[in-house]
């Protein structure tokens, strides 16, 4: 063989090799994007729906009653789900304080941007300050995403707010497959959440799903210095049942009317996450599944903002108690 021919053969081999590598890369990508990933939630305690499962449910709820408020009404009641009677993927209900205008604005501009599959509303009570009330009316007219009830927006009224959220979803967004209850000081990695729900769980929805950061054997605070102090008359036992940290709780469609039904009929208890995701969830017999590593903790948050998303690993929502600047910083660090 002469030198020129050998060179030609080598070139052909290299080309074949390159084509082969490209082929494998394509196949690898294909499988990575089309085959569902195994559920990353350890020991799921819920079931997934398929295309033929019915998700029809009926709401048996007194519209004008909210626990012990017998003259309840929505002061502001937007209807973002009205055009989606055939089904909507995700509804996010965000508990917010009337004066947290900035948090709501940042959420609207970052993770809470409304899309065809996801609707975001804010849950508010009433303010006793006329200026604040007028600002809320203006904000509500401008953005159409304020769900407001006729109870005082107060710390010990958090449970009214959460149950109002369930009521609003059950009556006005019953076709939503998944419902996320969040606080207004967190980051939701909305794309990761949608992929997690649609691909790792099921695009058709789930049944009996309550997932979150699960808290077990939490002791009831009796100290007068504690923000969470609860007297024995308010709650007798020393420990709370297993419950979800209230800053981010993911429900499946079927769970909402069932929780609402129980919450409407139990005596009021002001710590909403304990009450709804602990006491009420126990009554309807729905287990709480920990999201474990899919929740961003403070350590991984530092990795994310310092070294980028790859170093932090996958997550679907971030730690609570963030200020608006931190929400913006984290959002910038998440790839869209």
> What's the CA gap between 71 and 92, in Å, rounded?
26
Which one, of 310, 243, 308, lies nearest residue 281 by Cα?
Answer: 243
CB of 242 to ligand NAG, least distance (A): 23
Q: Does 73 engage in binding with ligand NAG (CB under 6 A)? A: no
By beta-carbon proximity to ligand NAG, the closer residue of 31 and 155 is 155
292: left (phi over 0), alpha (psi -120 to 50) or beta: left
Query: 322 near 179, Cβ under 8 Å?
Result: no
**Looking at 131-139, 249-257, 307-315, 321-329, which segment touches ligand NAG (CB under 6 A)?**
131-139
β-pairing, 88-95 vs 176-183, is: parallel
Query: 329 near 307, Cβ under 8 Å?
Result: no
Question: Going residue by residue from 188 to 217, which x/- string records binding to ligand NAG, judged by CB under 6 A?
Answer: -------------------x----------
Restricted to residues 275-304, the positions that interact with ligand NAG (CB under 6 A) are: none
Query: 147 near 72, Cβ under 8 Å?
Result: no
Q: For the chain, what is the radius of gyration of the CA atoms? A: 24
Q: Does 261 engage in binding with ligand NAG (CB under 6 A)? A: no
Residues 6+ apart with CB under 8 A from 271: 158, 159, 228, 230
Q: Does 64 engage in binding with ligand NAG (CB under 6 A)? A: no
By beta-carbon proximity to ligand NAG, the closer residue of 49 and 186 is 49
Tokens of 256: 């909402």
Q: Does 132 engage in binding with ligand NAG (CB under 6 A)? A: yes
Q: Does 46 engage in binding with ligand NAG (CB under 6 A)? A: no
Q: Does 151 engage in binding with ligand NAG (CB under 6 A)? A: yes
Residue with smallest beta-carbon separation from ligand NAG: 154
The site that binds ligand NAG (CB under 6 A) totals a number of residues, namely 21
By beta-carbon proximity to ligand NAG, the closer residue of 69 and 324 is 69
Q: Does 219 engage in binding with ligand NAG (CB under 6 A)? A: no
Which one, of 36, 95, 58, 45, lies nearest residue 214 by Cα?
Answer: 45
**Looking at 126-134, 170-178, 215-223, 258-266, which segment touches ligand NAG (CB under 6 A)?**
126-134
Query: 106 near 113, Cβ under 8 Å?
Result: no
> What's the CA gap between 147 and 161, in Å, rounded?
10
10 Å Cβ neighbour count for 308?
12
Which one, of 203, 198, 205, 201, lies nearest residue 177 by Cα?
Answer: 205
Q: Does 49 engage in binding with ligand NAG (CB under 6 A)? A: yes
Which one, of 323, 310, 295, 320, lies nearest residue 334 by Cα?
Answer: 310
Q: Does 16 engage in binding with ligand NAG (CB under 6 A)? A: no
DSSP state of 295: B
By beta-carbon proximity to ligand NAG, the closer residue of 102 and 152 is 152
**Looking at 7-15, 28-36, 129-137, 220-228, which segment touches ligand NAG (CB under 6 A)?**
129-137
Q: Which of 13, 79, 138, 306 binds ligand NAG (CB under 6 A)?
A: 138
By beta-carbon proximity to ligand NAG, the closer residue of 192 and 287 is 287
Q: Which of 110, 140, 157, 194 binds ligand NAG (CB under 6 A)?
A: 157
What is the end-to-end Cα distance of the chain in Å, rounded? Answer: 55
**Looking at 13-21, 47-55, 77-85, 248-256, which segment touches ligand NAG (CB under 6 A)?**
47-55
User: Which residues would be at the binding site for ligand NAG (CB under 6 A)?
Assistant: 47, 49-50, 52-54, 56, 58, 69, 129, 131-132, 134-135, 138, 151-152, 154, 156-157, 207
């Amino acid at each position: 063989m002469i030198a020129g021919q050998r060179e030609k053969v080598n070139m052909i081999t290299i080309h074949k090799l390159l084509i082969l590598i490209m082929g494998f890369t394509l196949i690898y990508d294909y499988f990575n994007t089309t085959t569902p990933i195994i559920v990353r939630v350890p020991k799921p305690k819920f079931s997934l729906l398929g295309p033929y499962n019915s998700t029809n449910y009926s709401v048996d709820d007194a519209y004008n009653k909210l626990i012990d408020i017998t003259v309840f009404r929505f002061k502001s009641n937007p209807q973002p789900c009205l055009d989606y009677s055939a089904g909507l993927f995700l509804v996010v209900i965000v508990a917010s304080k009337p004066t947290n205008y900035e948090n709501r604005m940042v959420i609207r501009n970052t993770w809470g941007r409304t899309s065809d599959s996801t609707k975001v509303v804010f849950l508010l009570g009433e303010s006793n300050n006329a200026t604040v009330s007028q600002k809320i009316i203006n904000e509500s007219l401008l953005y159409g995403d304020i769900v407001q009830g006729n109870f005082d927006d107060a710390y010990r009224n958090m449970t009214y707010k959460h149950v109002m959220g369930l009521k609003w979803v059950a009556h006005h967004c019953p076709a939503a497959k998944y419902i996320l209850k969040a606080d207004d000081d967190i980051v939701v990695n909305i794309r990761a959440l949608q992929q997690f729900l649609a691909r790792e769980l099921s695009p058709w929805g789930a049944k009996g799903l309550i997932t979150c950061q699960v808290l077990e054997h939490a002791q009831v605070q009796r100290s007068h210095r504690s923000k969470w102090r609860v007297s024995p008359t308010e709650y007798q036992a020393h420990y709370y049942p297993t419950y979800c940290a209230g800053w981010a709780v993911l429900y499946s469609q079927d769970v909402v009317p069932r929780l609402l039904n129980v919450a409407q009929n139990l005596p009021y208890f002001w710590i909403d996450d304990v009450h709804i995701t602990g006491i009420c969830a126990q009554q309807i017999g729905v287990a709480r599944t920990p999201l474990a590593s899919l929740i961003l903790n403070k350590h991984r948050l530092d990795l994310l903002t310092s070294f980028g998303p790859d170093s932090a690993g996958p997550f679907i929502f971030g730690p609570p108690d963030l200020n608006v600047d931190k929400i913006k910083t984290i959002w910038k660090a998440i790839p869209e």
